[in-house]
C-alpha cells in the first residue's frame, strides 16, 4: 500500500513500520499544505494517509473520500515506540475510504 505520512507523524515510527511504501508530505513538497488540499493531492497517488492530526475529521468533510485515513491519537514518540505493533496491525487492515481512529495507550 502506498502511504502518505503527515508531517506530524514521527519519522522514527515510519522507519519502524514494514510492508508498505511510505512517502512523507515533506518529501513531496506538500509540508505546508492545509489538510483539504493535502488530501485531494494524496488521493491521486496514495491509498492511505497516516496522521496524528485529530482535528482533521472536524475540519474536513471526509465523506466520499477514496483514501483511507489512519488517525493516531498521539504523535509522542516515547508513547508510540512501544505500540509499533498496534500501529502496524491497523495499517495492515485498514480498508479503502475508511477512517480508523487508533487510540494509543498512554504510559505503555
Is residue 55 a part of any domain in this protein? yes
pLDDT of the residue at 64: 75
SS (H, E, C) the chain: CEEEECCCCCHHHHHHCCCCEEEECCCCCCCCCCHHHHHHHHHHHCCEEEECCCCHHHHCCCCCCCCEEEEECCCCHHHHHHHHHHHHHHHHHCCCCCEEEECCCCCC
Whether pLDDT at 24 is above 80: yes
Is residue 44 a part of any domain in this protein? yes
Is residue 108 a part of any domain in this protein? no
Question: What tens digit of pLDDT does each residue of 49-101 get?
Answer: 999 988 777 666 677 788 999 999 999 999 999 999 999 999 999 999 999 99
Percent of the chain clearing pLDDT 90 (strictly above)? 75
State how many domains the chain has: 1
Domain containing 17 equals 2-102
Percent of the chain clearing pLDDT 70 (strictly above)? 94
Is residue 107 a part of any domain in this protein? no
Amino acid at each position: 500500500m502506498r502511504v502518505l505520512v503527515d508531517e506530524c507523524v514521527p519519522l522514527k515510527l515510519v522507519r519502524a513500520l514494514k510492508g508498505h511504501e511510505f512517502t512523507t508530505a515533506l518529501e513531496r513538497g506538500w509540508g505546508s499544505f492545509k489538510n483539504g488540499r493535502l488530501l485531494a493531492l494524496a488521493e491521486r497517488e496514495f491509498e492511505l494517509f497516516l496522521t496524528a492530526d485529530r482535528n482533521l475529521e472536524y475540519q474536513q468533510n471526509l465523506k466520499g473520500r477514496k483514501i483511507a485515513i489512519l488517525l493516531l491519537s498521539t504523535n509522542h514518540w516515547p508513547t508510540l515506540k512501544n505500540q509499533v505493533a498496534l500501529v502496524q496491525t491497523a495499517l495492515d487492515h485498514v480498508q479503502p475510504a475508511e477512517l480508523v481512529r487508533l487510540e494509543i495507550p498512554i504510559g505503555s
